[in-house]
Each structure stands twice: as structure tokens, then as C-alpha cells.
Amino acid sequence: MAANTDKFRKTVAGPITELTGNISATDTVIPMLSTNGYPTDTAIDLCIDRFDPNDNTKFTPEKMEIVTVVIDGNNGVFALRGRGGIAQTHLEGAIVEPSINTVVNHNDLVSGILQVLNQDGTLRSSIIQGVRDSIMPILTADIKDKAVTSEKIGDREVKSINLEYESVLLDHLADRVVTPDKVSPSLIQAGTQNVTGISTAAMSEKSFSVTFPTAFPKAPKVFVSASDIGNVCGEYVVVALASTTGFSGSVGHTGASSSGNSTLQWVAICV
């Protein structure tokens, strides 16, 4: 269920909508004309009042505000106000756009990743301990032949053991101690990708592709964040296809830009 505290938030390349009523600086419900196509399984960042609704060539940075909301019908609810810009009053008819704000979304993405990984990319000790605590009961002398059966597990609850985790349980844990070097490096990987040559015109994007340093045993989940493109509100990145060896997608912006370059930061997790 989506929550305004989600660290990993989806976005969408439009459509642009507008407020259907005035909101104060403290309102937590954002009423909109339409939210068609907006994600509902995660929270979403919205940009309000980036430009004059009567003249879309006139930018209004003094009015612009980034909010994080959960979509409910045509409303954004549980709004976290002033995540970019200042929480302030906005009038009916103000333009509302889906947004990946570089500071807000990127920092939340990093905070979420750091719950699992250290800065050098290794698993945090708390995660290692959690794995150890969860698998130690079945790593008994009864499994020395490397065959896991329901009789050996007994009445312990085990919902699934896939091939990737069997390789960790059976091949690497003879001493029953979990350390980062025993967990396959192909289960989680991260990196950066520079994308250049994006047109500076509004509503422009460019395709990109990334090859994983090590092939995954199956297609992973991929999370990508795009750096700021010329101080534009409306940067976005879309992953179109992910395979065991890499992924591809598009990065772009909805507004006019002063730069055609973006740096992507990505994390791929095999689950």
C-alpha cells in the first residue's frame, strides 16, 4: 500500500493537470482535474505552480512547490508540503505536474538503499545478522548432505527457497556463518550512467542502455534516479526493459532545459 513515507516512488511522463480548488500552505489534500495514469502503488512527487497557467512560457519559481502525495481518485492525499520550494497557498487552476525532483527523490532513494547497504556497497551488519538469524535454525547437522527436505526442516515455516538462495545456503555456509563474501555478488548491483545529447527543447528525451557488471541469475528489479537537467522541474527516467545482463530506458524532461546531460544512478536487486 502506498504511503507518503515511501522512499522508492514512481512517476509518470505527464499528463499535466491543474488544481480544482484553492489550497493553503497547510492543506494535505491536493484536488486535481485528473490523475489519469498516475501511479497508485507508490507515493508520487508533484510540482505545483512551476509556470503561469495563462502563459506556459512564463516560469514562476517563486510560486513553485514540490509535494509528495498518495493518489486517491483525483486527489493527492496525505501531502507532505514544501519538499522543494516553500509550502504556500496555490489558487484554483494552478498547473500541477508529476515530477522527479532531483534533491527530494534522489535523497530519499539513497536513504532507502542505505537501510540495506553500507557506503562501499556491502551489506549492512544488521541485514547479515537478520539473514543469519532466519536461516540458522535449518542449517543443522541434518543438512550435511546438502539436500533440503521438509522432514529435515520439520515444522519450521519456509515459504520458498529459490535457486539463488539455495546456492548461498548449501554451497557457501558450511561453517554456518553469513558474511558478505559468501553472498553472491550477482544478487544486488549498483552504478552510474552518463547520458548526453538530450535535446534542450521541452518534452525531450533520449534512450539509454546499461550493461550489468555481472549477469544476474534472473531479471532483477531496477531502480533509477536522474540528476538535474539544467534546473528543470520535470526530469524523468523510465526503465523500458530489464534482463539478466542489463536494462534500457529513456531519460528526459517536460520543460525547456539549459543542458542536455544527465547522470543516472541505478540499483538492481535480484528478488
Q: What is the pLDDT of residues 158-175, one digit of tens each?
A: 443 343 444 444 444 455
Q: Does the structure show a pLDDT above 70 at 6? A: yes
Strands (E), the chain: 17-18, 30-31, 44-48, 51-52, 55-59, 65-72, 75-85, 95-98, 188-195, 204-211, 221-226, 235-242, 246-253, 262-269
Cell numbers that stand for 54 in this block: 495563462
Q: What is the pLDDT of residue 148?
A: 56
Cell numbers that stand for 268 in this block: 538492481
According to DSSP H, which parts of 156-259 are helical?
163-166
Query: What is the Cα–Cα distance from 236 to 105, expressed in whole angstroms?
Result: 11
Where exactly are the structural domains of the chain?
17-99, 125-182, 186-269
Q: What is the pLDDT of residue 154?
A: 53
Q: What is the pLDDT of residue 185?
A: 54
Report pLDDT digits (tens) over 84-128. 899 999 999 999 999 876 678 788 888 888 888 888 888 888 877
- Pick the residue with more confidence: 148 or 206? 206
CATH code of domain 186-269: 2.60.40.2080
CA-wise closest residue to 205 among 175, 178, 240, 180: 240
Q: What is the pLDDT of residue 122?
A: 83
Report pLDDT digits (tens) over 219-267. 888 998 887 676 655 778 888 889 999 999 998 877 777 778 888 889 8
What is the percent of the chain where pLDDT is above 90?
Answer: 35
Q: Does the structure show a pLDDT above 50 at 157? A: no
What is the percent of the chain where pLDDT is above 70?
Answer: 76
Query: What is the Cα–Cα distance from 51 to 263, expressed in whole angstroms?
Result: 26
* SS3 call for 111: helix
Q: What is the pLDDT of residue 1?
A: 86
Task: Provide Rg for the chain, Cα atoms.
Answer: 23
